[in-house]
Amino acid sequence: MIFQNEGGALVARRHGETLRIEPWGKDSLRVRATMHAKFTDHAWALTESVNNGKCDVTVYEASDFPGDPRIADGGQVAVIKNGRAKAVVNHAGVISFYKDESLMLREYYRFYGGTISKLSRCLKLVNREWKGVLGGSEFQLTVRFDANEGEKLYGMGQYQQPYLDLKGTMLELAQRNSQNSVPFLVSSLGYGFLWNNPAVGRVTFGKNITEWVARATSDMDYWFTVADTPKEIVAAYANVSGHAPMFPEDRMGLWQCKLRYRTQDEVLSVARAYQKEGIKIDQIVIDFFHWTVQGDWKFDKTYWPDVKAMVDELHSMGIKVMVSVWPSVDRRSENFWPMAEQGMLLKTERGAGQTYDFEGDCIVIDPFNKQTRDYVWNVCKKNYYDLGIDGFWLDNSEPDLAVYDFDNYRYFDMPALACSNMYPQMYSRTFFDPMEELGRGPVVNLLRCSWAGSQKYGNVVWSGDVPSNFESFREQLQAGLNIGLAGIPWWTTDIGGFMTDDVNDPDFRELLIRWYQFATYSAVLRMHGDRGPYDIPPLDTRDWGGGYLHTGQPNELWSYGEDNYRIMRKYYDIRIEMHDYIKKLYEEAHTNGSPLIRTMFYEFPDDAKCWETEDQYMFGDRYLCAPIFTLHAVKRDVYLPAGQWKLTSTGEVFEGGRTVTVDAPIDYMPVFERL
């Protein structure tokens, strides 16, 4: 390795690779490498200006190296230190990362005695492996790290699985319906790690090795930070990737939605009914196929004859209005050929051009192209925003694809393999950037997907079209806790799950209540779902327009019987009573990145039991919540950390540091208030 100090950055060159390590925020380092003549200099998720403080770069001869002599292995060693974060690079290019003087993470390296292991040489398995992509200038990159015994890993976005601790899992680095790849992790050892690369790939957190793979990339790029607590790690990450805006107070209550309100009269009748019941809904959401065809991005006037009047009446009730926009453009759309001819749509490398086939022959838009973003916004501004619509439900934002053959797609300036994971963020910026510039009010849009840094673009992320069963409900807790640790604090779910066969099934109604109780103690309380049976006839016999597609059963609070309505009304009142507290939590999300729903160890990092507890959570720092994840369960065990805890149902005070068993009748989810 040839080491140089370039303006406070450590630069090393070997075998055609250029490695650059530089300070990037307090106690943090950014690490990049390339096989090209120069770096692409993409910021990716590291968009914020940072104050690095004092940084030291030192090059040692092996005989003078003050650390483990086996690392030096007889050659030069370079050390870069930024506050408490330190990286050591040996002559083979292997990087070791430290917090103070404690080893946190090391790229794959084997040594025995005083020399590099002959075994490693025979395996020909290296820490950074570049393989050229046939027919392109990119490389498939594999970066390997030694695994740490006993380490726990969290974050990484949202995956539909029952595991909170990700150690031992393999995660696809790709966006899908209900799957969000947000590649920032928090380690129980006291460091955070961002894979700052939107390429499609995978990560394996094995017992023996950690391996990151980008299927097509020009640069290696990752960020490393150290701190003593998960809260400090998440805050450091927010400082370099962006802070969520301040969430508006007028949307902290109930959001009402269903699949789907088909006419403006339906929307107004629901709003009026809520007003009559004395229930304030903060936002009503108008779902898909209110339009003529996909890509027209406008209401079908047959069923929505006076949108402005509808919006005005809803606003008079204090209700914000959100409307669904999809990134798919049907060949029948008035916008298809103008966009296709100007290169604004996703391109296929081979075969047919179709990329989406739900209810039409469609191609999804290319938001990596600024011209595309401007075109789509101008259409939506004219047809929605100028009529008073307050926000956008940017559905299918992964984007949803007919086939997830990422190697068959190409965006504006690079293949899809190299950038696909950033699609939802670029799609959201199609709306956020101009809305922010217009300054009409806080920007809050709803998306089904996100990537690292999406929190700064006014994104409420929901967990996708998940099944309506208790197993899926349990997985949503893990999804919400991990995406919060990955820096996305505004997160929600479809209450009761999305896919329901029969709303009259008593088991489903029990699930709905348990899910609603959980949602009350989450960032956004939002009613939504595709409710069967599908026995409501369409409004129109045409195969297009706002009247032809099916609709689901009613999904208002009173739609599930008087007993259930009573319970949901009770929890609605609890939500409203917590308004000032919820506002405080959103302020924390804005200032230090803290999620609203938090793992137990986020608030109690010194309690070993909290690192093992995965079926309960903290709603902020005050409320310990224990959802019911089993059908017909009326009791459950709850672990209470040290201190005093008041059970909200009875007012009984418990001493912590132990597990207690509490009652959980259908009208109560166990919640303890921290005293």
Catalytic residues: 395, 398, 465
Contact status, residue 178 vs residue 400, Cβ threshold 8 Å: no
Rounded Cα distance between 437 and 384, Å, is 17
Rounded Cα distance between 263 and 306, Å, is 11
Which residues does residue 345 pair with via DSSP β-bridges, in sequence order? 365
What 3-state DSSP class applies to 542? coil
Backbone angle region of 318, left / alpha / beta, with phi > 0 → left and psi within -120 to 50 → alpha? left
Contact status, residue 216 vs residue 139, Cβ threshold 8 Å: yes
| Cα separations in angstroms, 437 against 206, 441, 611 | 45, 10, 43
AA letter at 277: E
Of the candidates 609, 607, 627, 608, the one whose C-alpha atom is nearest the C-alpha of residue 671 is 627
AA letter at 498: F
Rounded Cα distance between 382 and 368, Å, is 22
Helices assigned H by DSSP within 262-350: 264-277, 307-316, 336-341
Rounded Cα distance between 614 and 219, Å, is 36
Which residues 6+ apart lie within 8 Å of 667 measured at CB?
513, 566, 567, 570
Of the candidates 33, 18, 22, 96, the one whose C-alpha atom is nearest the C-alpha of residue 56 is 22
